Amino acid sequence: MQINSTINDELKTFDVAPNETLLHALRANGYFGVKHGCENGECGACAVLIDGVPMNSCVMLAAQAEGKQITTIESLGHIAEQGWKHTDGLHLIQQAFVDVGALQCGYCTPAMILAAKALLEQTLAPTEDQVRDALSGVLCRCTGYVKPVQAVLLAAERIRGGAEEPRGKGGQAIPITLPTDYPTTELSNYPTSNLQLLTSTLPTMVVAPAVPETRVVGKPEKKVDAVKLVQGKPAFTDDIELRGMLYAKVLHSPVAHARIKHIDASKARTLEGVHAVLTFKDIPRVVYSTAGQSDPIPGPLDSFSLDSKVRFVGDRVAFVAAESEEIAERALELIEVEYKELPAIIDPRDAMKAGAPIIHDEPEYVNFANVADPSKNIAAHIDIELGSVAEGFKQADHIFEDEYIVSKVQQTHIEPHVVITYWDEDDRLVIRTSTQVPFHARRILAPVLGLPPKRIRVIKPRIGGGFGGKQEVLIEDIAAHLTIATGRPVRFEYTREEEFIAARSRHPMRIRVKTGVTKEGKIVANEMDALSDTGAYGCHALTVTGNTGQKCMNLYNAPNIKFHAHVVYTNTPPSGAYRGYGVPQGFFPLEVQIEKIARTLGFDPIEFRLKNAVKAGDELPMSKAWNEGRPPHPETIETCGLGECVARGAQMIGWKRNLESPISNLYDQRLEIRDWRLVEGKPHLRRGQGVACVMQGTGIPYLDMGGASIKINDDGSFNLLVGATDLGTGSDTVLAQLAAEILGCPIDDIIVYSSDTDFTPFDKGAYASSTTYISGGAVAKAAEQVAGQIRQVAARMLNDRRPQTADGERSAVGGQPSAVAPDQIVLRDRCAFAPDGRFATLQEVALESLHHKNQQQIMAVASYVSSKSPPPFAAQYAQVLVDTETGQITVEKLVMAVDSGVIVNPATASGQIEGGMTQALGYAVCEEMLYDARGDSVIRQLGDYKIFAADEMPELQTIFVETFEPSHPFGLKAVAEIPLDGVAPAVANAVYDAVGIWMREIPMTPERVWRVMRGK
From 26, 105, 337, 774, residue interacting with ligand FES (rule: CB under 6 A): 105
Q: Does 463 participate in binding ligand FES (rule CB under 6 A)?
A: no
Smallest gap from residue 7 Cβ to ligand FES (A): 18
Nearer to ligand FES, 141 or 316 (CB): 141
Smallest gap from residue 43 Cβ to ligand FES (A): 3
Task: Report the candidate in 784, 965, 869 with the shortest Cα–Cα distance to residue 210.
Answer: 965
Q: Does 103 participate in binding ligand FES (rule CB under 6 A)?
A: yes
**Within 465-524, which residues bind ligand FES (CB under 6 A)?**
465
Nearer to ligand FES, 555 or 727 (CB): 727
Residue 854 phi, psi (nearest 5) = 45, 55
Q: Does 922 participate in binding ligand FES (rule CB under 6 A)?
A: no
Q: CA 58, 60, 62, 64: dihedral to nearest 10 degrees?
A: -170
**CB contact at 8 A, 747 and 216:** yes
Q: How many residues bind ligand FES (CB under 6 A)?
A: 25
Smallest gap from residue 912 Cβ to ligand FES (A): 12
Nearer to ligand FES, 103 or 752 (CB): 103
Nearer to ligand FES, 36 or 132 (CB): 36
- What ranges make up the beta strands (E) of 279-377? 309-310, 316-322, 336-341
Nearer to ligand FES, 45 or 96 (CB): 45
Smallest gap from residue 221 Cβ to ligand FES (A): 18
Smallest gap from residue 1003 Cβ to ligand FES (A): 21
- C-alpha 453/C-alpha 432 separation (Å) is 15
Q: What is the CA radius of gyration of the chain?
A: 29
**Three-state SS string across 565-619, please?**
EEEEECCCCCCECCCCCCHHHHHHHHHHHHHHHHHHHCCCHHHHHHHHECCCCCE
**CB contact at 8 A, 537 and 290:** yes
Nearer to ligand FES, 74 or 749 (CB): 74
3-state helix, strand, coil in the chain (%, to 5): 30, 25, 45
- C-alpha 830/C-alpha 823 separation (Å) is 17
From 24, 32, 44, 936, residue interacting with ligand FES (rule: CB under 6 A): 44
Smallest gap from residue 959 Cβ to ligand FES (A): 23
Nearer to ligand FES, 147 or 481 (CB): 147
- C-alpha 598/C-alpha 596 separation (Å) is 5
Part in contact with ligand FES (CB under 6 A); list of ranges 35-43, 482-490, 585-593, 641-649: 35-43
Nearer to ligand FES, 501 or 613 (CB): 501
From 25, 45, 134, 978, residue interacting with ligand FES (rule: CB under 6 A): 45
**Within 108-127, which residues bind ligand FES (CB under 6 A)?**
108
Task: Report the candidate in 303, 329, 325 with the shortest Cα–Cα distance to residue 316.
Answer: 303
Nearer to ligand FES, 232 or 605 (CB): 232
From 33, 39, 472, 687, residue interacting with ligand FES (rule: CB under 6 A): 39
Contacts of 231 (CB under 8 A, 6+ apart): 33, 73, 74, 76, 77, 78, 79, 90, 94
Part in contact with ligand FES (CB under 6 A); list of ranges 8-16, 44-52, 797-805, 872-880: 44-52
Q: Does 107 participate in binding ligand FES (rule CB under 6 A)?
A: yes
Smallest gap from residue 973 Cβ to ligand FES (A): 24
Would you give the binding string for ligand FES spanning residues 56-85, x where CB under 6 A is met? x-x---------------------------
- Half-sphere exposure in the Cβ direction for 745 (13 Å, CA): 25
Task: Report the candidate in 443, 460, 431 with the shortest Cα–Cα distance to residue 728.
Answer: 460
Smallest gap from residue 333 Cβ to ligand FES (A): 24
Smallest gap from residue 774 Cβ to ligand FES (A): 23
**Within 723-742, which residues bind ligand FES (CB under 6 A)?**
728
Q: Does 716 participate in binding ligand FES (rule CB under 6 A)?
A: no
Nearer to ligand FES, 3 or 34 (CB): 34
Task: Report the candidate in 216, 224, 98, 384 with the shortest Cα–Cα distance to residue 780.
Answer: 216
Nearer to ligand FES, 827 or 942 (CB): 942
Nearer to ligand FES, 8 or 941 (CB): 941
Strands 873-883 and 889-899 turn out to be antiparallel
- C-alpha 877/C-alpha 871 separation (Å) is 19
DSSP state of 803: P
Part in contact with ligand FES (CB under 6 A); list of ranges 43-51, 241-249, 652-660, 699-707: 43-51
Burial (CB count <10 Å: 0-12, 13-18, 19+), residue 438: buried
Smallest gap from residue 933 Cβ to ligand FES (A): 31
Q: Does 46 participate in binding ligand FES (rule CB under 6 A)?
A: yes
From 7, 16, 38, 163, residue interacting with ligand FES (rule: CB under 6 A): 38
**CB contact at 8 A, 3 and 65:** yes
- C-alpha 755/C-alpha 457 separation (Å) is 11
Tell me the one-letter amino acid at 803. P
Would you give the binding string for ligand FES spanning residues 156-195, x where CB under 6 A is met? ----------------------------------------
From 33, 54, 101, 106, residue interacting with ligand FES (rule: CB under 6 A): 106
- What ranges make up the beta strands (E) of 444-554? 456-459, 490-493, 509-517, 523-535
- C-alpha 619/C-alpha 900 separation (Å) is 18
Part in contact with ligand FES (CB under 6 A); list of ranges 99-107, 328-336, 608-616, 1003-1011: 99-107
From 28, 41, 564, 713, residue interacting with ligand FES (rule: CB under 6 A): 41
**CB contact at 8 A, 689 and 653:** yes
Smallest gap from residue 28 Cβ to ligand FES (A): 15
**Within 129-158, which residues bind ligand FES (CB under 6 A)?**
140-143
- Helix H or strand E segment including 327: helix 325-334
Nearer to ligand FES, 37 or 573 (CB): 37
SS3 call for 61: strand
- Helix H or strand E segment including 545: helix 541-553
Distances (CA, A) of 714 to 346, 745, 782: 62, 14, 19
DSSP state of 206: E
Q: CA 393, 396, 400, 406: dihedral to nearest 10 degrees?
A: -60
Part in contact with ligand FES (CB under 6 A); list of ranges 103-111, 267-275, 512-520, 831-839: 103-111
Smallest gap from residue 190 Cβ to ligand FES (A): 24
Nearer to ligand FES, 42 or 307 (CB): 42
Nearer to ligand FES, 103 or 766 (CB): 103
Smallest gap from residue 496 Cβ to ligand FES (A): 8
Nearer to ligand FES, 421 or 436 (CB): 436
Q: Does 49 participate in binding ligand FES (rule CB under 6 A)?
A: no
- What ranges make up the beta strands (E) of 244-375? 246-252, 258-264, 274-278, 309-310, 316-322, 336-341
Q: Does 414 participate in binding ligand FES (rule CB under 6 A)?
A: yes
Burial 28-45 (b: 16+ CB within 10 A, else e): eeebbbbbbbbbebbbbb
Smallest gap from residue 33 Cβ to ligand FES (A): 13
SS3 call for 491: strand
Q: Does 788 participate in binding ligand FES (rule CB under 6 A)?
A: no
Residues in contact with ligand FES by the rule CB under 6 A: 36-39, 41-46, 56, 58, 103-108, 140-143, 414, 465, 728
